[in-house]
Amino acid sequence: MEAQTRFDLNAAIEKWRLELAAQPNLGLADQRELEAHLRDTVAELQRRGLNDEETFWLARRRVGQPQQLDEEFAKANPENVWRDRVLWVAAAFLAWRLWSDISMVTIGVTLHFIHNAAWANASFQLFQFAPEWVRFYLPPTTIQVSRMVTSPIVQTLVYYAPVVWLAVCLVRGRAQNVSS
């Protein structure tokens, strides 16, 4: 009994072509050229006596994964690479602006709550007259917390956190490239 469905070579190539079309750096002419290449490879493998399915998968592997092809073509088109870079820089700038606004609002709201919390004032008054060494062992009071939050150093750190994070990522990426 023949339960297996017949492999449709043309449909498989058509599907592969759609995968190529989904890649951002492969133009219509590139896709057409790569398809001609795949079909040439298929024809050669068929001459060697392989069946349609084996032929297709082997040819597909030889020509390369659509994503891999896209990367190779992107490298050869510097203008596309630059377009992507400009877009990334713009996106990063907007994200940073958004972050800085959010962090400023967050700090403002936090301060408002700290200043208005009754327990904060109470605990501050309670230990206000305690000797210095007693206060030393107490957890940082809310006053200190509020002072910390409002200190320009902390604010600057929060403000530039994404930039620092990005720099750390870049340095680590570079270190990995060097080591590999």
Partner 1 sequence: MLAKDLVAASSKPLVLSILADGESYGYEIIQEVRELSGGHIEWSDGMLYPVLHRLEREGLIDSEWKEADTGRERKYYSLTSKGGKTLAVERQQWLKVHNTLCKLWKLKPVSI
* Residue 69 touching partner 1 (CB under 8 A): yes
Which among 169, 168, 165 is positioned nearest to 157, based on CA atoms?
Answer: 165
Provide the minimum distance between the beta carbon of 39 and partner 1 in the complex, in angstroms, as a whole number. Answer: 6
Residue range at the interface with partner 1 (CB under 8 A); choices 10-18, 68-76, 112-120, 137-145 = 68-76
The residue written with tokens 């200043």 in the block is 115
Which amino acid type is present at position 56?
A: F
The residue written with tokens 């340095």 in the block is 171
72 or 101: whose CB is closer to partner 1? Answer: 72
Contact between 81 and 74 under an 8 Å Cβ cutoff? The reply is yes
Query: Of residues 8, 40, 84, 101, which one binds partner 1 by CB under 8 A?
Result: 40
Which among 113, 111, 138 is positioned nearest to 127, based on CA atoms?
Answer: 138
Residue range at the interface with partner 1 (CB under 8 A); choices 45-53, 59-67, 95-103, 130-138 = 59-67
Query: Of residues 21, 43, 81, 157, which one binds partner 1 by CB under 8 A?
Result: 43
Contact between 159 and 103 under an 8 Å Cβ cutoff? The reply is yes
* Residue 22 touching partner 1 (CB under 8 A): no
Tokens read off for 168:
């750390």
User: Treating both helix axes as pointing N-terminal to C-terminal, what angle do 152-179 and 142-150 enclose, rounded to 10 degrees?
Assistant: 60
* Residue 23 touching partner 1 (CB under 8 A): no
34 or 142: whose CB is closer to partner 1? Answer: 34
Q: What are the residue ranges of helices labelled H in 117-129?
A: 118-126
Provide the minimum distance between the beta carbon of 36 and partner 1 in the complex, in angstroms, as a whole number. Answer: 5
3 or 178: whose CB is closer to partner 1? Answer: 178
Tokens read off for 166:
């990005």
Interface with partner 1 (CB under 8 A) = 29-30, 32-34, 36-37, 39-41, 43, 62-64, 68-69, 72-73, 75-77
